[in-house]
Structure 1
């Protein structure tokens, strides 16, 4: 039977006398799973300095000393790069409040997950400055033992440390360990897929992790407005069910307060928080960058008036919580740190080329063993040639 014949038969078939009732289509009742209102960040960045808010003298004194030390650390590392002692240095001058606060809100058992720009945060957490700069010097693999200092390896690929932070925090929660992970990323990193995957997993698992976005205005040379159309980067958490916080990233008291609340929320089982700290990178992206090609000097100078070190120093001085002796003591301690760093970094590192093959695989592959054999043979031949040359 052809299709046409079948169609004709169907058309000629008598109609049934049964009455058919047409069910009225009704959509099931729908309610949002989460009220979005509590997830929304502040309309204006949260601030403490200049508002008359109560300050803890001991805490502020410690943060001030760390800010002064951090500024001197940035200056010294930049100078070492110009001298050829570092291959590259991504400065955090202007962002010290974020770096210091991130390190100081954590307990000893907590973990810090820095990006490549966050060596200062690692130093503020207690890491030896030389070890913090080892990777940027081109020595070894990381420069320090992550398990010993609870600082994940410095991450050069953008945002890849964020899923790692979520995984560690989730595992700690499953094991019943009192551990919070704080993961740092720049505004450019929020355009990476790892950022979104990390937020989604963290929210679903309610992992005890805090995401700190340092929005310094530029992803190298790309301004924020060319990266996202979101009202703020803190709003990005709402779509994942994560509360967003917006804070003045140059106000160290405000950054510390917001991060401390987020860490405590994570520790008590409240889940993750996304914090956007609005700050500014006063120096170039790295020593290899010419920032004058994409931003005006007037813009930089405007932000210098909102310098995090000067902001806190002025506030504490006006409140009578800091005097000239305290300022000089902080500067002297910073100079002592810089001098020690300079002296130690001027020593040539003793390198073993065979370390290239260590810590790659638990059991070395056939190819890796062959490469090791070839390099060893080359080194022995070079040593023999040098010895023969000395005899002549």
Structure 2
């Protein structure tokens, strides 16, 4: 992997609407499913054959189906909120598949696909947005920290974890996910300062989906986001975030570099949020239909399907699609059934997983909280 700053003459695709024109973007599969030679990325995906491509398609289909089902569940009152990832499946699946067992993920609130592929149960993802849990899952068991709502805060957590890995001399890396809007936050920039200074084994993975809620990315930066980390001494890669192979290759390269002591890498995956920021948002108020239609033509699933149909190997593409759809539908039905029988945590559960060991102050707070709740029972009994 070449970690020198890319020259302006490097091969690039034509920029999508609203994107800074000067920034090259590494791509393996184009929007029509044609594969192009990409010397910087090709060595990292030599093992990806037709079966692996079919598996990647299936994983993206499952992630998309869960996302759509969760959106429906929110509209039906089963979830309080949901942050859709529609359109960002390649960025999440490609990067998640690239990780090794001991690598650790620090997600924002939108990385439901990454968490699912790393072993977080789908029900646990939905429980968070239903308000049925105070945490979500066991980070140690899954290698995935619980989702961070505060924009960019997880970048500092990832660097701190990576510095610990560094001191343990472990063969592992941390990867932190955030959106384009988070790059304007102090936490992300401070994290890059520390990571560059200590050469910590962390991958900064920015999903540039072009919208920080209702603000377009062009209002935040006059150059591509991938230019920013160079100022901290962190090399960066800018890849087509709707190209699952480009994302897979770039993440593999960055993770290996980090774990081998090469320090941090920044990846800008250029993608697009097809739906709202969350289910509380109305994107029709701030973006036009032409932009959305232009990005629909760059759909990450249809380009893999198109590429599979061009391969000169014995692949039953229709069977691949049917199997993926069946697995996706089964997962959607499974989470809907699980929600129907879900036992909600009581308020007292709030105190169970704050500290590793119980102590007197925690027990005092538990007792006071129980007395606070009891007063409402006493009022109802006296009414």
1:207-262 CA-to-partner distances (Å, cap 9, x unmatched) read 11101100000100001111122x21111110111001000000001110111111
The residue correspondences of 1:194-213 to structure 2 (distance < 5 A) are 194-213=187-206
SS at match of 2:343: coil
Q: Is the 8 A contact 2:3 2:235 kept in 1?
A: no
Alpha-carbon distance between aligned partners in 2 of 1:177 and 1:382, rounded to the nearest angstrom: 57
Match among 120, 129, 135 for residue 136 of structure 1: 129
TM-score, normalised relative to structure 1? 0.84
TM-score, normalised relative to structure 2? 0.86
SS at match of 1:212: strand
Alpha-carbon distance between aligned partners in 2 of 1:95 and 1:78, rounded to the nearest angstrom: 15
Tell me by how many angstroms 1:367 deviates.
7.2
Counterpart of 2:20? Answer: none
Counterpart of 1:353? Answer: 347
Tell me by how many angstroms 1:56 deviates.
2.4
Q: 1:373 to 1:330 in 2, by over 3 A?
A: closer
Counterpart of 1:17? Answer: none
Equivalences, count: 350
Match among 52, 67, 76 for residue 59 of structure 1: 52
SS at match of 1:38: coil
Tell me by how many angstroms 1:127 deviates.
1.1
Alpha-carbon distance between aligned partners in 2 of 1:319 and 1:45, rounded to the nearest angstrom: 25
Larger deviation, residues 40-49 vs 231-240: 40-49
Larger Rg: 1
Match among 61, 66, 75 for residue 73 of structure 1: 66
Tell me by how many angstroms 1:322 deviates.
4.8
The residue correspondences of 1:155-170 to structure 2 (distance < 5 A) are 155-170=148-163
Counterpart of 1:306? Answer: 298
Q: Is the 8 A contact 1:72 1:334 kept in 2?
A: yes
SS at match of 1:163: helix
Alpha-carbon distance between aligned partners in 1 of 2:140 and 2:5, rounded to the nearest angstrom: 33
Alpha-carbon distance between aligned partners in 2 of 1:37 and 1:146, rounded to the nearest angstrom: 32
Q: Is the 8 A contact 1:88 1:287 kept in 2?
A: yes
Structure 1 unmatched runs, 5+: 1-35
Tell me by how many angstroms 1:370 deviates.
5.8
Q: 1:373 to 1:78 in 2, by over 3 A?
A: closer
1:274-297 CA-to-partner distances (Å, cap 9, x unmatched) read 000000000011111010110001
The residue correspondences of 1:1-392 to structure 2 (distance < 5 A) are 38-40=4-6, 43-49=23-29, 50-53=34-37, 55-229=48-222, 231-320=223-312, 321-360=315-354, 363=359, 364=361, 368-369=365-366, 371-378=368-375, 381=378, 385=381
Aligned alpha-carbon RMSD (Å):
2.2
Alpha-carbon distance between aligned partners in 2 of 1:379 and 1:352, rounded to the nearest angstrom: 15
Q: Is the 8 A contact 1:39 1:241 kept in 2?
A: no
Structure 2 unmatched runs, 5+: 11-22, 38-45
